[in-house]
Amino acid sequence: MVGYKSIDDYVASGMVVGLGTGSTAYFAVERLGQKLASGELRDIVAIPTSVRTKEQAESLGIPLVTLDTHSRLDVAIDGADEVDPKLNLVKGGGGALLREKMVEIMADKFIVIVDESKLCDGLGPGFPLPVEITPFCHEHTIRQVAALPSVAGCEAKLRMGSAATGAKPDGDEIAVTDNGNYIVDLFFREPIPDPAKAADELKALCGVVDHGLFCGMSTAVIIAGSDGITVKTA
C-alpha cells in the first residue's frame, strides 16, 4: 500500500514527521505506529494535521509535538484529491486543508500518496476546490471568491454537514473546520487555467483563510495503480 511505502521509503529514526489527514494518510499513520512499536524506528516525533489524525496517532503511541516547538519537519506525508502533471494538488476534501498546508509547507520533503484515480490533466473538474473562509459575513466572502478572474465560471457552494466528508452535503448545518471556520467548495466544468495564479488571488482575498491548491510543494507522488505502485518526482 502507498501509505506503508511512504513510511518505509521516506521516514528514518530521529525525524520530525508531518502526518496527513484522510483515508489514505490513515495507513501511513498506522505504519508509523507499527514501526515505532517494533523498535524499527526510534526517536520520532510527529505533527498531526487534524484532530482525528491526532487521536489516531495517540492511540498508536506516536509521540506528538506541534509547529510551536518544531517549525521544521524532515518529511510530511498526506493524500490528495487531485494531482496534475506538474504535481500540483487539490486537497481539502477532508476539511483539514489549513492545518495540512501549515505543516506540509514546512517540510523538507512532502510525499503525496494517492491511487491512480486522483491523477488528472488539469485541476478543477474532477474534484471541487475547497476554500476555508471566516464565518463573519461568509455570504459576502463567497460572492467575492466566485468573482475572482482566476476561478471564473466556478460554482461556489457552502459545505454543509460534516467538514470531513467532502463537498457532498450530509447534514443541514453549516460544516465547521477544526479551526472554527467554514468551507466553500468551488465546482468547475473546465480545468483551472493557472492554478498558481488562482492560489495567489484566493489567498489575497480578505475573508479567505486558505485554500486547497497546493502548488509547487510536492517532492514525490506515490501512486497505487492497476499495474502496481509507481512514483513521480517533481
Task: Cite the active site residues.
Answer: 100
Q: In 3-state terms, what secondary structure has residue 211?
A: strand
Residue 183's contacts (CB-CB under 8 Å, 6 or more residues apart) are: 92, 95, 130, 131, 132, 133, 158, 159, 163, 175, 177
Quick one: DSSP state of residue 160?
B
Provide, for the chain, the percentages of residues in helix, strand and coil under a 3-state DSSP scheme, each rounded to the nearest 5.
30, 25, 45
Q: In 3-state terms, what secondary structure has residue 63?
A: coil
Quick one: DSSP state of residue 218?
-
Phi, psi of 13 (to 5 degrees): -55, 145
